[in-house]
Structure 1
C-alpha cells in the first residue's frame, strides 16, 4: 500500500521526534566524525550520546554503562613530537606508544548512536558500507512501508534502539526516521581502529579490523598515522616499507624531529649509515634537546670511528649516557692512539694489529681505519691484501661530510683515504689513477706535508715511467734504463719500475743486472708473474739451471695451460740433468714419446707411481699418424706425465694382453691401476683426460 499523502501521525511517528530532527537541522554547527581513543575502546552501544542545541550547549545522555569513550571537543594545542618514536632500548624493536587523539575542528563533532550505525545508500538503509548494502536496505524499506498502522505505532514506542539522536543525516540530506531500521545484516559492522587501510571511525564488514598493506597506510594525510604504520613495519623487520612510511610522514610534516630520527633507524637497518647520520643531524637541528637523536647519532659516529663527534652526542648535557657505548668509545680511543704511535715509529705490524682491533671494537664502517690498515699492508709488501682492504671503503660521497672532514693522523680523513689509494695504485702500476687520487688529496688537504710529498713523488714516478716506456719503444734500451732509475729515486719500492728496467737489461744482454732487478721486484711483490718469468729466462742464460727450473715450476703451477712455460720447464730440466752428469739416454726429455715393445717393459712402465699414458697405435693407420704430433706436444706440456707408445702390429703380445682391437686407443695408468680408456678420442677430450688425471 502506498504511504503518499499520509501524515506522520497516521504513519505512527511521534511528532516530537520529528520536531527534534527539525531543531537539530537549524543549528549552525554540524557534527563531524570524532576519533575514538584506542587506549579506551568503547562500543557504539556503550558510548555517550552528545547532542548540540541551537544555543551551542552540549547535553549528554548515557546508558547505564561508563562513557569513558567520549572525547572533549576542545581543540588541543599540545604538540606530540615523540608519540610513536622508536624505542631507545632497541634499534630493531621500537616500543608501541599511545596513539594521539585528533583535534576536533570547531563545528565538527560526531554523535554516536546506539546500535549498529546506519548508512544511507541510494534511497535505502543498510547496516554496512560497500555495494552489498544497497539491496538489503531497499528490502528493509519496502517491508517497513507495507506494515500495518498498529505495527508502525508499536515500533515507534518500542525500545530506544530504533531512536536516532539528533545529527544523524544521510548523505542525500534526508533525515533518518524511527521505525525505518533495516533488516539485520548477516555480518556485524564495527568501527575500524585506524591501524589498517581505514582511519578511526570507518565502518567495516565482518566484525574485525582490517590491517591492509603499507600502500593503503601511506595514503593517510595524518603524519602520526603514517608514522605508526612505519613503526609497525619496522617491528616486523620490513625496513624498506618502514622507510617509505617515514618518508611519507616527513613530506607531510618536514619539521618533526621524531620522524627524522625514525627514518635514521630504518636507514641504519638497511646499512645506509651515511644517510642515517644526516637524518639524525637534521633531527638535532630541528630539536637540539632531542635526547634519542643524540644517542643514535653517537652510536653511528662510533661505527664511523669518529671518537670526538661521538663523545659530543653521547655525553650530551641533561641525559644519561649508555655505559656500554661509553666503554666502546674509550676502547676505540685507546687503540686509535696506539695505532698513531706505531705509525710514527714505522712499526707497520703494530699499525696493522691496532687497526684490526679498532675495527673489531665497533668502528667497522670507518673509512680511515680501513685506509690505515691498507697502508700498513702496503708497507709490508702485501699489495693484493692492501687493495682488498681498500675495497671495503664505499664511495666517499656516501659518507657524511661530518665524518670526512675530521682529522686522522694529522690529515683530513677524505684526503688520507685518497693519499693511501694513490700509493697502492702506484705500486700496482696504475700510475694515471695514482696521480688523479694524489691530486685530489692535495686539493682537499693542501697544507699537509705528507700529502704534498706523496703528490710530488707520484707525479715524478709517473713521468719517469712514461719517458722510459717511450724510449724502450724506440729501441733506446740504455736510456730507458736510466729513465726507470730516475723514477726509482722517488719511489724505491716500485716493483713495476724494477721489472721494466730488468727487461731493458735483458735486451742489452746484461743478464746479471736483469736478475738483480727481478729479485728486487719479487721481494716487493712475490707473485709478480712477469718478473718471475724474466728471472727464469735470465738465469737460464747464465746457465743457472736449478734456479731456472725452480721459477718455471712455480710458473707451471700458476699457469697450467701455458704450453710455452711447459716447454721451457722441460728444456731447463734436461739441461739441469746434463749439467749434473746424469744419463738421459733411457728417458725421453726431448719432447718425444718413449716406445715400448715387450710385455715386461710395458708392465714396468704402467707400475710407475706417476701418471702414465699409453698410446696403442699402428704405423699403417692414418688416424694414429695424425694424432702422434699432438701426443708429442702433450709430452712437453705435461712434463710430470710419462707418455708411451705401443705398435700393436709389432708388439702383438702387449696388444693381446690389453685386448686392443681398435687403434688409436689410449689408456691412462697410475701405480699399475687403469684410470681411463679412450678409443679414437679427439684432441680436446684427450688433453682434458690427461689433465684431470694429474690433479
Structure 2
C-alpha cells in the first residue's frame, strides 16, 4: 500500500494512504507534483545547472510518465552537457508520445547530427517536414549541417585515399565542430594522428573514447596502431587481437595482426642469418621486412640500421652510409644509426662528416661514451689533415719496427734524387719532395715516443714534438745505409753497387726497382 503527500493549504502537506484517496484526486495530485518538479527543473535549466535540472525533470517523468514535454525538457538538458545518446533517447520517446511535438522532433534531428548519424538525421528531418511543412525555416540550419557534414566526409575519404593524413585531421576537426559526439569522426582523426607520428595526441584521443566506452573497437585499434608504430610489436599484436575479440569483422585490425606477425618473423629470420654469417640472405630478409609496412617508421629505421650492419661486416662502407642515412631520415633521434654512420665515415676518411654526427650524438645522449666518441672523431679529423706517414712509407698502421725499416728502405731508394738525376726538372723536384717526406716519416715512426704521440693525434710541431720537419733526409739515408763513396751522394749505389754496409744492415734484403 502506497502513500502520498497532499498539499491541503499553502505550505501545509498531509500524508494519506493511496487506498484512502479518490483515484481522480490522486491523479490530480500526481499531475500537480509533476508540474512543480518540471517548473523547478526549468529554473535550474535557466541557471545553467543542467544536472539538477535533469534530476527534477526525471522526478516529473516518474510522477507523470506519459507527458511528452517532460522528455523533451530532459533531452534539452542532456544536450547541454553533451550527453547526446540520452538526449536522443528522450527526444525519440517524446515524438513517439506526441508526433506533433515539434521541439522533440527538432532535438532528435540535432542529436542525430551531433552523433554523426546523417542517414537517421535526414530521415527524421523529412518526417518533420511532412508533419509540419509550414515551419521549414526553424530547421533550415539542420539541413545545411547535414549537407556540410556529407561534403566533409567525402573530402576526408578522398584525402585518406591519397594518404594526406594531415588534411584528414583538419577536415575531421571541422566535422567535429558540428558533430562533437561522432565516434567515427573521432576515430578517423585519432588514426590519422597516429599515421602522422603524433602518438601522444592519438593515444589521448583514444583514451578519451575508451573512458566513454571501454569496448570501443576503433579506439582500441588506434592504441594498437600507436604501439605498432613505436616498435612495441608484441603489445601492438595484443591490442589488435583484443579489437578482433570485440569486433571480429574489424578488417584493419585483422590486417594489422598479419603485418605484425609477418614483420616479427621476417626480422627475426634476418637476425638469425646475420648471426650465422649469411650476409646476403640477411640483406634479402631485411629488405623484404621493409616492404611489409612502409608507415612503420621506427621499426623500418631499425631494419635500415641492420642493413648497415651487414654492409659494415662486408666492408662496403658506401652502402652502409646510405642505409644509416635512410634510418636517420625515418628516426632522426636514432643513436645507433648515427654511431654506425660515424664508423663508416671514418673508414671512408670523411672525418668532417663523422665529427658532425658525433656532435649530434653527444647532444642527444650527453653521456661519457658520446663525449669520448666526439673526442676521438675530432682527433681523427685532425690526424686526417696532416701527412699520413704510414701511407708515405706504404706500410700498415699496425706495422712493427722491422716492417717500418723495410718500408723505409724501399721508399727511400725509390724516391732518392740520384735515381731521378736524368729526369725532367719537374720529375727531379717531385722526387726530392717525396724523398724528404719519406725521411720525415721514418724520423717519426722509428722513434717510439714520437710514434706514440703521432698515433695519439698529438701535435708534433710543438717543442715536445722534436721539430721533425728540420730533419735532413739525406743524413737519415746515409745513417741508415752506412754512407756512400765518392762521385756524388750514393752514386755508387745507383751505378749498380750497394752503399757501404747496406747488405750487412739487413742480410737477404732485396731491392726492387721495377
TM-score calculated relative to the size of structure 2 = 0.56
The Cα offsets for residues 292-346 of structure 1, whole Å up to 9 and x where unpaired, read as 3332333233333332233233443224452223222221211211222333344
Q: 1:395 to 1:354 in 2, by over 3 A?
A: closer
1:366 corresponds to 2:182: yes
Choose which of 312, 330, 336 in structure 1 pairs with 2:153.
Answer: 336
Three-state SS of the structure 1 residue aligned to 2:259 is helix
Choose which of 326, 329, 332 in structure 2 pairs with 1:523.
Answer: 329
1:93 alignment counterpart? none
Highest RCO, 1 vs 2 (Cα 8 Å, sep ≥ 6): 1
1:545 corresponds to 2:361: no
Q: How far apart, CA to CA, are the structure 2 residues paired with 1:322 and 1:351? A: 29
Choose which of 246, 251, 259 in structure 2 pairs with 1:457.
Answer: 259
1:236 alignment counterpart? 47
Three-state SS of the structure 1 residue aligned to 2:205 is coil
| Contact in 2 for aligned 1:373/1:386 (Cα 8 Å) | no
1:292 corresponds to 2:103: yes
- Equivalences for residues 100-179 of structure 1 within 5 A: 102=29
- The Cα shift of 1:482 comes to 6.1
Q: How far apart, CA to CA, are the structure 2 residues paired with 1:518 and 1:467? A: 21
- The Cα shift of 1:427 comes to 1.6
- The Cα shift of 1:534 comes to 4.8
Q: How far apart, CA to CA, are the structure 1 residues paired with 2:96 and 2:351? A: 73
| Contact in 1 for aligned 2:230/2:299 (Cα 8 Å) | no
2:121 alignment counterpart? 310
- Equivalences for residues 587-666 of structure 1 within 5 A: none
Choose which of 427, 436, 452 in structure 1 pairs with 2:229.
Answer: 427
1:388 corresponds to 2:388: no
Q: 1:557 to 1:281 in 2, by over 3 A?
A: farther
Three-state SS of the structure 2 residue aligned to 1:322 is helix
Q: 1:489 to 1:238 in 2, by over 3 A?
A: same
| Contact in 2 for aligned 1:484/1:501 (Cα 8 Å) | yes
Q: How far apart, CA to CA, are the structure 2 residues paired with 1:529 and 1:254? A: 68
RMSD of aligned residue pairs (Cα, Å) = 4.6
Q: How far apart, CA to CA, are the structure 2 residues paired with 1:493 and 1:331? A: 31
Q: How far apart, CA to CA, are the structure 1 residues paired with 2:121 and 2:53? A: 26
- The Cα shift of 1:486 comes to 4.6
1:269 corresponds to 2:80: yes
- Which stretch of structure 1 is more off in the superposition, 287-296 or 322-331? 287-296
2:367 alignment counterpart? 562
1:147 alignment counterpart? none
Greater share of helix? 2
Q: How far apart, CA to CA, are the structure 2 residues paired with 1:253 and 1:477? A: 81
- The Cα shift of 1:426 comes to 1.5
Q: 1:309 to 1:435 in 2, by over 3 A?
A: farther
5+ residue gaps, structure 1, are 1-31, 39-72, 79-100, 105-199, 201-221, 405-413, 583-695
Choose which of 355, 369, 380 in structure 2 pairs with 1:575.
Answer: 380
- The Cα shift of 1:488 comes to 2.8
The Cα offsets for residues 474-495 of structure 1, whole Å up to 9 and x where unpaired, read as 8889577666555333223433
Q: 1:337 to 1:492 in 2, by over 3 A?
A: closer
Q: How far apart, CA to CA, are the structure 2 residues paired with 1:530 and 1:461? A: 21
- The Cα shift of 1:540 comes to 4.7
Q: How far apart, CA to CA, are the structure 2 residues paired with 1:294 and 1:537? A: 72
Q: How far apart, CA to CA, are the structure 1 residues paired with 2:339 and 2:43? A: 63
Q: 1:579 to 1:389 in 2, by over 3 A?
A: same
Three-state SS of the structure 2 residue aligned to 1:316 is helix
Q: 1:420 to 1:270 in 2, by over 3 A?
A: same
1:438 corresponds to 2:240: yes
Three-state SS of the structure 2 residue aligned to 1:371 is helix
Q: How far apart, CA to CA, are the structure 2 residues paired with 1:255 and 1:527? A: 65
Q: 1:483 to 1:345 in 2, by over 3 A?
A: closer
5+ residue gaps, structure 2, are 1-5, 12-21, 388-514
| Contact in 1 for aligned 2:229/2:297 (Cα 8 Å) | yes
Greater share of strand? 1
| Contact in 1 for aligned 2:72/2:90 (Cα 8 Å) | yes
| Contact in 1 for aligned 2:109/2:125 (Cα 8 Å) | yes
